[in-house]
Amino acid sequence: MRTHDRLRIAIQKSGRIGDPARELLARAGFAFRQGQDKLFCRGESLPFDLLLVRDDDIPGLIEEGSADLGIVGLNLVEERRMETEPDRLRVRMPLGFGRCRLAIALPDLAEWRGPETLEGRRIATSYPVTLARWLQAEKVSAEVVQLSGSVEIAPRLGKADAICDLVSTGATLAANQLREAATVLESEAVLVGPEPPFTDGRADLAALLERRLQGALGLRATRLLLCQAPRDALPAILGLLGDAEPPTVTRIEGRDDAVSLQALCRSAMTWQRLEDIKRAGASGLLVLPVEQMLA
Ligand code: PRT
Ligand code: ZN
């Protein structure tokens, strides 16, 4: 039995979820020392360790207790959750990267009249449980052909009439003369843990991790905006800063008609937005990244 004074987080060794997950953990202030076997990394200053594995193994490792928490695509969590009764996994927090969708796609020339088009057809997928649930909800009876990879070539090989696979840009579908017809599941990386959640010392550690991750995710787009503006332009400018914390407005020495403004903006500060703020009367606009924040 492991003690409960450290938390073990399973993440993908490398790939679309693992690389950004390590980056996020680093931004949240976690540092790890890689072990000899390249499978286990010990937390340097905080009681959090990493287990580096194939993403497909993460839900199972959490269910069996070999890992406490995991960072993995919702697609894999859902596939596993639908398979096991009762639910043994809990999605604790969406992480905003690794976005994709599990989608039905058909050969370019095939007709699509909605889900009923799939009645009696063969659909190739690596997500048989999620697909079967969707078909059931759509009241369609079709044959699910389970493949572990290269799903997109199944129609050309005559193994299936349609596919159900992950799509992000759509380039893979296009390269295989397939077109997207329906979305089965929207996915992104999530922090996942066991169901029911911890009641021992790990509950506090998990809460600490979540607070740190929230902080790091929140800071990603956060910018500090500094500018000057005529006092009477203030209402128009504040109207453009709906995502900002209540801004600080200070007077400028020797000028009664103008103020200096400082605002912490939570969403992307695009050029378009900056131009709108300038047009509303602001001048000397400065946008600064925010490195750390302690509310
Ligand atoms: O070795 P391991 O098993 O850990 O790696 P893996 O090959 O399974 O993982 P990886 O890194 O490819 O994917 C891990 C996770 O990334 C998935 O479970 C999803 O949660 C997420 N993700 C996000 C994606 C995609 N986007 C994605 N586009 N996973 C796979 N794809 C594939 C898709 O299967 C298709 O082949 O990319 C192709 C389509 O991409 P587009 O951009 O051409 O549409
Ligand atoms: Zn995988």
Question: Along the 295 residues of the chain, how does pLDDT read in single tens digits?
Answer: 677 899 999 999 999 999 999 999 999 999 999 887 789 999 999 999 999 999 999 999 999 999 999 999 999 999 999 888 789 999 999 999 999 999 999 999 999 999 999 999 999 999 999 999 999 999 999 999 999 999 999 999 999 999 999 999 999 999 999 999 999 999 999 999 999 999 999 999 999 999 999 989 987 788 999 999 999 999 999 999 988 888 999 999 999 999 999 999 988 788 999 999 999 999 999 999 988 877 6
Residue 166 CA to ligand 1 centre (angstroms): 7
The pLDDT value given to residue 1: 60
Q: How many degrees, rounded to 5, is the angle at CA 72 between CA 1 and CA 205?
A: 45
Report the C-alpha gap between 18 and 293 in whole angstroms.
25
Tokens representing 247 are 């801004």
The pLDDT value given to residue 220: 78
Decide: residue 198, CB within 10 A, 0-12 exposed, 13-18 middle, 19+ buried.
middle
Q: Which residue minimizes the CA distance to atom 13 of ligand 1?
A: 16
The number of the ligand 1 atom at minimal distance from the alpha carbon of 72 is: 20
**What beta strand segments (E) does 62-130 contain?**
69-73, 89-94, 100-107, 122-125
Q: Phi and psi (nearest 5°) for 275? A: -65, -40
Q: Which residues form ligand 1's pocket by a CB distance below 6 Å?
A: 12, 15-17, 54-56, 73, 75-76, 98, 100, 165-172, 187
The pLDDT value given to residue 294: 72
Task: Report strand pairing: 189-194 vs 143-146.
Answer: unpaired
Q: What residues have CB less than 8 Å from 52, skipping those under 6 apart?
A: 11, 12, 13, 18, 38, 39, 40, 41
Q: Which residue minimizes the CA distance to atom 8 of ligand 1?
A: 55
The number of the ligand 1 atom at minimal distance from the alpha carbon of 14 is: 4
The pLDDT value given to residue 36: 78
DSSP label at 57?
A: G
Report the C-alpha gap between 146 and 17 in whole angstroms.
23
Which ligand lies nearest the alpha carbon of 18?
Answer: 1
The pLDDT value given to residue 183: 97
The pTM assigned to this predicted structure is 0.84
Report the C-alpha gap between 127 and 275 in whole angstroms.
46
Report the C-alpha gap between 33 and 56 in whole angstroms.
24
Can you list the alpha helix ranges (DSSP code H) found in the chain?
18-27, 58-64, 74-83, 128-137, 171-175, 202-219, 234-239, 271-279
Residue 94 CA to ligand 2 centre (angstroms): 19
Length of the chain: 295
The number of the ligand 1 atom at minimal distance from the alpha carbon of 16 is: 11
Residue 43 CA to ligand 2 centre (angstroms): 25
